[in-house]
Structure 1
């Protein structure tokens, strides 16, 4: 038995997420312990899914927490996930843990960003790399992508800029393909349009290095030295809050002994 649903409802949204994940109705049905017929009825508006079904489909479609609230609203249910300011007292324990993590990682750089790469917290290792940047780039809110790729930012100091720029833009492209975020798309269009600085260092191919790297390094000049890092990004498992779901902690791990020795000497 099916129930007619007026308006566009949640069906087209779920179909959009399914197509984005390149799943057939049958594949989604098998994952969600449902039937292809029921998935079809939900997507076309012939059947109204229960709140539990909306959340189950969202889980198997890997829909971001913020968008799960949108699916619930479209289906006629209340949002399930709160969006708490990081300054809220209820997140005090989380903030303290993040600050301890950032401090404990020193002297190596570590930064906390939101879904559009706005800097929420950073340690002294990051401050070291930003030394000497112009004031207009250091005016809050700071943005990691702008700081890195702007021709007056870190870009002229990055020895393998073309490789690193390509890595960052590809990372943003993957995110845009997975989530519906106009702010992220606008940021991508902005930083992708930055010109390559004339003062950029030579490409890695023209500048051989003595150590074999296990991942693409960020090779950046600082105070007359060449430092090399590899990046690692961490997020929170099974978040129940939109703010927490969109937090990411990026750490820069030294990629060669010379970088380790220099940072520890500080």
Structure 2
């Protein structure tokens, strides 16, 4: 194990990332400052119980806690179950129920880094109307689809405002979980054309005046105005479930409601042909 991934270096890095002194961490973990110092110097080996207390004191996610345990030579505590595993069948059924209740409006299930796990018919109708048929089984990252220049951007009329808000949320995620994967997502999004400029633009009077930032899509004569909610699972005991999010889209006006109702009965392609 290299020096940077060793437990002493990892512990010191996590403590500093949380903005804690050795004394503050010691108080939170119910031990002495001297013990924390010895742990960070590698002069003392942690017990499994101490690892549990350190993880709690640092506010680590299940995945981070597992990583810290591995760096100290312990087996992980939390099982990281694949989303399609049989043991998660009741959760998938519950998610399917939630997505169905959201019809005809879009709803998706995503992981921590916005990889699409599940989507309802309303989502498929909207995406296929905007960008064309989806490839069955293809991996989809909603962050890339939103921020990249050639997917949803041409149809999102307030792209700069939406992307500025979204990228700041990804930056907050990267700061919160301190993982290479979320940092890589943040850096990739920041590298897309126009993103850096959107982050420095002042908010317009119109944006400030509304209580929630809408997403405004337009294609041909069809326009959509939506806001979203994010939901997480209660009391997860698995990293996969802890990181999961359900995003639901709701219409902000009657015109948008009518479009989704028509898609539900006629299909997006038919509505587009009629109104374009």
TM-score, scaled relative to structure 2 = 0.80
Residue from 221, 239, 249 that aligns with 2:246: 249
Residue from 100, 104, 116 that aligns with 1:103: 100
**Aligned-partner Cα distance in 2 for 1:49–1:233:** 38
**Aligned-partner Cα distance in 1 for 2:136–2:15:** 40
Q: 1:189 to 1:75 in 2, by over 3 A?
A: closer
Q: Does 1:123 align with 2:120?
A: yes
**Aligned-partner Cα distance in 2 for 1:247–1:95:** 11
Deviation at 1:142, TM superposition (A): 0.8
Q: 1:11 to 1:124 in 2, by over 3 A?
A: same
SS at match of 1:130: helix
**Aligned-partner Cα distance in 2 for 1:101–1:50:** 42
> Cα RMSD between the aligned structures?
2.9
Q: 1:224 to 1:29 in 2, by over 3 A?
A: farther
Q: Does 1:51 align with 2:48?
A: yes
Unaligned runs of 5+ in 2: 196-201, 265-276
Deviation at 1:33, TM superposition (A): 2.4
**Aligned-partner Cα distance in 1 for 2:134–2:119:** 18
Task: Number of aligned residue pairs: give it.
Answer: 253
Q: 1:43 to 1:254 in 2, by over 3 A?
A: farther
**Cα distance per residue 1:179-208 (max 9 Å; x no partner):** 2433333333333333359xxxxx9959x6
Residue from 179, 182, 192 that aligns with 2:180: 182
Residue from 137, 140, 146 that aligns with 2:138: 140
| Mean CA deviation greater in 53-62 or 252-261 | 252-261
Unaligned runs of 5+ in 1: 1-6, 198-202
| 1:1-266 matches, cutoff 5 A | 9-131=6-128, 132-133=130-131, 140-196=138-194, 205=204, 213-221=210-218, 224-264=221-261, 266=264
